[in-house]
Amino acid sequence: MYRRVMAFDFDGTLAVHGVVPRELEDALEQCRASGHALFLVTGRRFETVSLGRLSQVFTGIVWENGAVLFHTATGEVYLPFGQLEDRLVQALKDKEIPLEQGLAIAATWVPHDQEVWQVLGAQGGGAVVEYNKGAVMILPAGAAKGAGLERLLTICGFSAHNLAAFGDAENDISMLRLSEVAVSVGDAVSAVREMADVVASQPGPAGVLEILDRYPLAGKYFDIPLRRERRIMVGRDKEDREVSLPGSRLAGRNLGVFGDSGTGKSWVVGLLAEGLHHEDYQVLLVDPEGDFRGLRALPRFVALEGDHVSMPSPSAAVSLLETGGVSVVLDLNRYPVALRIPYVAELVRALRPLRERKYRPHWIVFDEAQQIFPPGGGEATNAVGPLLEQGGWGFVSYRPDRLDPMVLHAVHHCLATRLVEPEAVRAVKEHCGDCGIETVNFAEIAPGEILLCEGQVARLRPAFRRVPHIRHFYKYLEVPLPPGKRFWFRDAQAGVGQEAASLYEFLQLIPKVPRASLEYHDHREDFSRWAESALGDADLAARLRKLAHRQLKGKQLREAIRETVAARYEELNALR
């Protein structure tokens, strides 16, 4: 549903000789009434088109090929790229080039473009030139239909990822490139037809009406393959070929990620979240265990956390999403378990207006989804149920059989890591019965690989993460590990009577442990093995392994270990 913003060129697309056909006016009004946001994007000079009954249909208008923006609700006019300099306009007039001047631009027509280029060369630039089927527009530097529309979408609170754009001429190309779906009318110039995702069979306004009838007016949302798909890399298959998921599929459909605890589900979800965020999709991660708070290391990714007193309210979180334009992790690790379902229910209710008005966030993910949406309904399940058909939801669980059936039924495609529990495997196979996975042994999915289930079966190796995933790092920083995972210091003869139950304790013991014990463990690379196996911290393990290769002794070794562990402890502590 998320492609519900539409932008239209005027001349040759919506209108012929400045007139929009009555049946197309009716269709545009129906689209607006059904919840779509419409924008007009034209090369015409500011307010030189009489829109009549359409004047209130458009949320905003981009005039003068992107140089002048009009926000309908407020009546504000913006000139984001300024105006042509007076000296340049005067130089064009001195050449006796016939000009039409707008609020920010000037225009002429072929063959006067050659004289325009000569003037620009003599003046040292200072403007750009756009063509529109014989018309020649001289614009302030940076102005174009795409650039102007992008600014206006931001002003109005929309994302270009929600955009389908309709055009016919050369000056529409920047707008079509900005859009998620590019639509060409049937008589568009060849460059527009070649780049379009959808090409109408009819020319001009009839072609626009054809596409509107086929998609939005038929209750469909341009759910089509895209020529310029923004793909999110997941990993490489066993033949070392890159495997990825389309960002549009994650934002437009519902994903399930299923697998046993500790098999990499959260790692893969973090990878997808990073990829989508990098492509400017907005992401919301509801994180009961604190696995994703490290994502706040990325620009424009915010982590919110707290207990029952300090946790930001759902309405505050939604306000941040709406006005801040950021992606958000809601870390519920310190929030009381008994209050999490009511909190999520209130969050979903607060999100509904934002999703229905602005079509954001593009991807909303619930980790440990079986905690929030258990079988038998409930407050959170009832809140999310009516919204599932919109798409753009993700559910992560080690027990898909313990998800409410309505939630599981709404999942369109799945990713799976190793899954052993028979009832969980049965739930996935029954749900994905058309994907050809009946013979897959989920218990044999190797560590570091995932199963892609979307009509094909492929085993993947997860790709590189922009932010290293540290599972429950806050736990091993200070909270004691189980006895079997603690570090027990010894020397070549016997134990020395000291143990580290957390990274904090390990750091405190380094100055106190006998030198012989430190040298014994360093020589055997015990420190790096403990960091990797007990703490799950491959980064720290790599640093300690490199240190062991230096073969230091005595005071130098003690200080090097202390500095290495202290640096990592501070890095992790900063992510809390």
pLDDT exceeds 80 at position 532: yes
Alpha-carbon gap, residue 129 to 240, rounded angstroms:
45
pLDDT top residue among 78 and 568: 78
Mean pLDDT of 213-222: 87
Token pair for 495: 């134990």
Token pair for 503: 């990274």
pLDDT exceeds 70 at position 280: yes
Mean pLDDT of 510-538: 91
Amino acid 455: pLDDT: 43
Alpha-carbon gap, residue 451 to 469, rounded angstroms:
20
**Domains 1-78+143-226 and 231-462 belong to one CATH topology:** yes
Superfamily of domain 231-462: P-loop containing nucleotide triphosphate hydrolases (3.40.50.300)
Q: What is the dihedral of CA 545, 550, 551, 557, to 10 degrees?
A: -80
Amino acid 287: pLDDT: 94
Burial class (CB in 10 A: 0-12, 13-18, 19+), 460: buried
- Tell me: the pLDDT tens digits for 327-379? 999 999 889 999 999 999 999 999 999 999 999 999 999 999 999 999 998 99
- Tell me: the pLDDT tens digits for 153-173? 999 999 999 999 999 999 999
Alpha-carbon gap, residue 330 to 314, rounded angstroms:
9
Q: Considering the domain delimited by 1-78+143-226, tell me its CATH architecture.
A: 3-Layer(aba) Sandwich (3.40)
pLDDT exceeds 60 at position 457: no
Tell me which of 92-96, 206-210, 245-249, 466-470 is least confident.
Answer: 466-470
Alpha-carbon gap, residue 330 to 347, rounded angstroms:
10
pLDDT category, 449, cuts 50, 70, 90? confident
Alpha-carbon gap, residue 276 to 283, rounded angstroms:
7
Token pair for 336: 């009381």
Bond into 361 cis (ω within 30): yes
Three-state secondary structure call for residue 150: helix
508 Cβ contact list (under 8 Å, min separation 6): none
Q: State what percent of residues in the chain have pLDDT above 70.
A: 95
Amino acid 190: pLDDT: 96
pTM: 0.79
pLDDT top residue among 436 and 279: 279
pLDDT exceeds 90 at position 124: no
Alpha-carbon gap, residue 343 to 532, rounded angstroms:
35
Q: What angle do CA 49, 52, 53 make, to 5 degrees?
A: 140
pLDDT exceeds 70 at position 384: yes
Token pair for 279: 């492509």
Alpha-carbon gap, residue 255 to 150, rounded angstroms:
29
Say how far residue 53 (Cα) sits from the centre of its chain.
Answer: 36
**What does the mean pLDDT of the chain come to?**
90
Mean pLDDT of 426-441: 82
pLDDT exceeds 80 at position 221: no
Q: Which amino acid is at 137?
A: M
Distances, alpha carbon 157 to alpha carbons 54, 151, 160, in Å: 21, 10, 10
Longest Cα–Cα distance of the chain, Å, equals 98
56 Cβ contact list (under 8 Å, min separation 6): 72
Mean pLDDT of 225-243: 81
Amino acid 448: pLDDT: 75
Give the chain's length.
576
DSSP class per residue in 196-262: -SEE-SS-HHHHHHHHHHHTGGGT-------TT--EEEEEE-TT--EEEEEHHHHHHS-EEEE--TT
pLDDT exceeds 70 at position 45: yes
Q: How do the domains of the chain map onto residue ranges? A: 1-78+143-226, 82-141, 231-462, 473-574
Alpha-carbon gap, residue 379 to 372, rounded angstroms:
9
Amino acid 466: pLDDT: 64
